[in-house]
């Protein structure tokens, strides 16, 4: 297990979070740096522990990863107004293979129909 360095100087100042969904106990965000996709984070709020699943779309150095986690903690978790004794982050690196739905013509980001090839 790694320890998060919340005092990192590499706190990813250009990182942007776009919320995809919110439920009473969870949130999901797309992460981007300008026009470049960085990944996705799913946050799940327990009674005292916040669990995160972070999927990165590209390889990042450990220092950059620490900065991304610090920004998620500072900008999303700590502002959620929920108890937080610990923040556990599981990190995966991969690429999006697609979005699957029962409704094949629905664009999940804006709710409008999209044309499929």
Q: What is the predicted pLDDT for the residue at 26?
A: 96
pTM as predicted = 0.79
| Domains in the chain, number | 1
Tell me, yes or no, whether 102 lies in a domain: no
**Helix (H), strand (E) at residue 67:** helix 62-72
Residues (pLDDT < 70) of the chain are 1-11, 106-117
Please report the pLDDT score of residue 117 as a whole number: 42
Residue 19 lies in a domain: yes
> What φ, ψ does residue 70 adopt, rounded to 5°?
-60, -40
Tell me, yes or no, whether 108 lies in a domain. Answer: no
Q: Does residue 62 fall inside a structural domain? A: yes
């Amino acid at each position: 297990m790694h320890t998060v360095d919340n005092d990192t100087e590499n706190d990813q100042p250009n990182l942007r979070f776009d919320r995809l969904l919110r439920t009473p106990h969870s949130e999901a965000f797309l992460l981007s740096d300008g026009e470049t996709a960085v990944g996705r984070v799913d946050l799940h709020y327990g009674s005292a522990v916040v669990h995160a699943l972070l999927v990165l779309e590209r390889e990042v150095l450990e220092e950059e990863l620490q900065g991304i986690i610090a920004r998620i903690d500072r900008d999303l978790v700590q502002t959620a107004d929920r108890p937080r004794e610990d923040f556990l982050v599981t990190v995966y690196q991969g690429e999006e293979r697609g979005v699957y739905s029962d409704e094949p013509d629905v664009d999940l980001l804006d709710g409008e129909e999209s044309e499929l090839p």
